[in-house]
């Protein structure tokens, strides 16, 4: 699939494959993992940029439920949002007609909602953070691996399992004693 095709909105179930299989279902919640290229170690200031990149598009392209930025990878739980364009938002109210018309088709065809695709979302996060990190550290080259791991969260139990995984991620290597003390962790309700 060509790059520009990957960056199109999604309106129905879609399966694609690069090295990993990718499944998209509009309205779904996803668990995503991004790895740095060649296990590049993110500095603390680079982690700040990555965390802000995740939070920047929250409530614009997706609902962000949780994310954590580690030394060489990041995880998040998010739900892509429906794309509302100006034409949909400002749809004119039909005028009353003095004489009803017979018609076999509705005047307005039902619109299938479109959602931001995972490639659109991951491109936004990875591209923005990579450019900022390169400028910050005065380096060139890839910051992120091209591909990421994504999984549709199927039910509440899996959601809670992935949320726990993200929250506990800084505890595993002993970076902090309590998850809340890890600077690069965000989850809804944490505030």
Q: Which residue has the tokens 């700040």?
A: 48
Residues with pLDDT less than 70, the chain: 1-7, 86-110, 190-191
Report pLDDT for 153.
95
What φ, ψ does residue 155 adopt, rounded to 5°? -160, 180
Report pLDDT for 26.
86
Number of H helices, E strands in the chain: 5, 7
Report pLDDT for 4.
58
Model confidence over 8-18: pLDDT tens digits?
777 777 777 77
How far apart, in whole angstroms, are the C-alpha atoms of residue 170 and residue 180?
10
What φ, ψ does residue 166 adopt, rounded to 5°? -65, -45
The structural domains of the chain, ordered by start, are: 3-84+112-187 (3.30.70.1290)
- Where do the DSSP E strands lie in 2-52? 14-17, 21-24, 29-35
Report pLDDT for 20.
80
Q: For residue 161, what is the enclosing H or E element?
A: helix 156-168
Q: For residue 181, give both structure tokens.
A: 């003390």
> Do 25 and 152 touch, CB atoms closer than 8 A?
yes
Q: For residue 186, give both structure tokens.
A: 């965000």
Which 3 state secondary structure label does DSSP give 152? strand
């Amino acid at each position: 699939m060509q790059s520009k095709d990957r960056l199109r909105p999604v309106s129905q179930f879609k399966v694609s494959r690069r090295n990993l299989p990718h499944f998209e279902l509009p309205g779904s919640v996803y668990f995503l993992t991004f790895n740095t290229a060649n296990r590049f170690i993110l500095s603390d200031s680079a982690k700040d940029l990555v965390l802000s990149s995740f939070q920047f598009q929250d409530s614009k392209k997706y609902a962000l439920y949780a994310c954590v930025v580690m030394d060489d990878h990041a995880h998040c739980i998010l739900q892509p949002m429906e794309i509302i364009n100006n034409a949909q938002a400002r749809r004119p109210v039909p005028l009353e007609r003095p004489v009803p018309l017979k018609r076999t088709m509705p005047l307005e065809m039902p619109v299938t909602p479109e959602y931001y695709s995972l490639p659109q979302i991951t491109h936004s996060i990875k591209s923005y953070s990579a450019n900022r990190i390169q400028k910050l550290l005065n380096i060139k080259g890839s910051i992120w691996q091209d591909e990421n791991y994504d999984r549709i969260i199927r039910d509440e139990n899996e959601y809670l399992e992935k949320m726990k995984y993200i929250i506990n991620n800084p505890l595993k290597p002993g970076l902090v004693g309590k998850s809340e003390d890890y600077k690069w962790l965000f989850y809804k309700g944490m505030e």
